[in-house]
Chains A and B, each alone.
Chain A
Amino acid sequence: MAETLEFRVDKFTFRVALDRYYTPEGVWAKLEGDWVRIGLSDFLQQRSGDVAFAELKPVGTRLDFGEEFAVIETIKVNISLGSPSAGVIAETNPAMKVEPERINQGPYGDGWLAFVQPDDWETDRLRLLDARAYFERIREQAEEEVHKP
């Protein structure tokens, strides 16, 4: 289990895994060997609700940075997810076809979405938020939302 930063707003506890990078929208990316594993942040999955379906672009799909690689349908919304890395989809999580609820159960673990073989990870990484920056961003966002009249 990755080490996390945590904060609590109202009855919700949100966790941010320290060992990866994030898009402002809440897609995480973690370099593992030559590939980048990607998934949804805990904040994004909790905010979006229970996942009904996860549709991923097939292995071999070429992606630009920020290009849609998956669409998630939850009980509340449909979300288009942009890739945190430019490259080619090298592997998708087979569990997403039958148990997309894993995104809710383990967003930083079993609920990962895909591996991308990056063109240039170092360039992508500089365009992402590190865990602490993402943590501060979502904490402010969550507090603003909870205090909305």
Chain B
Amino acid sequence: MTTSRQKVLIVPCSGIGKTYGSVSREAAYEVTEALRPDETQLLALSLLVMGDKSSRQTLAESPAITIDGCKLACATKMVQECGGSVAHEFAVLDVYRRYRQFKPLGIADLNPGGLQLARALAEEAALVIDGMLSEETGGQNG
């Protein structure tokens, strides 16, 4: 017997043209493509902004982790505005404060520091996802 498990949505900010926005997107790719591909799904903020029905439906059914590049927190605000559930929100700047050795530079192409920062953020997100899924499993088993 197989059971289908809800995926955790990863919603990065758009942040086009900004270094910290690029870090947020790189981190989202890292989580959804490399670290937890089976447990997560990338959801594009632009689709929510445009009112895409399918994306909003997906959001209504699954918890989301948002990754914002700046204090405007567009990803978090948009998910909330669309009625979604933000299980955890990351701000790139807060993560950078924990990993000062990874100073991000560049926009279209992040420097090695930016890529390492994205990786560090992704690893933190993966741990959050593991926690969420183990709680879910615990809840189902309990």
Contact = CB atoms under 8 A, between A and B. Distances in A.
Q: Do A and B bind each other?
A: yes
Interface of A: 50, 52-53, 75, 101, 104
Given A75-B19, A75-B20, A52 B96 contact: yes
Interface of B: 19-20, 70-71, 93, 96-97, 100
A108 B126 CA distance: 39
Contacts of A101: 71, 93
Nearest to B70: A50
B71 A104 contact: yes
Contacts of A104: 71
A75 B100 contact: no
A52 B20 CA distance: 12
Contacts of A75: 19-20, 70, 93
Given A50-B71, A52-B93, A75-B19, 12 more contacts: A50-B70, A50-B93, A52-B96, A52-B97, A52-B100, A53-B97, A53-B100, A75-B20, A75-B70, A75-B93, A101-B93, A104-B71
Interface centre among B19, B70, B93, B96 (most CB of A within 10 A): B93
5 contacts: A50-B93, A75-B20, A75-B93, A101-B71, A104-B71
Contacts of B97: 52-53
Nearest to B104: A75
A77 B96 CA distance: 15
Contacts of A50: 70-71, 93
Contacts of A53: 97, 100
A120 to B, nearest CB: 38
A139 B19 CA distance: 28
A101 B96 CA distance: 13
Nearest to A78: B103
A99 B136 CA distance: 34
CB-CB nearest 5 A-B residue pairs:
A50-B93, A75-B20, A50-B71, A52-B96, A52-B93
A11 B91 CA distance: 23
B39 to A, nearest CB: 30
A53 B97 CA distance: 7
Contacts of B93: 50, 52, 75, 101
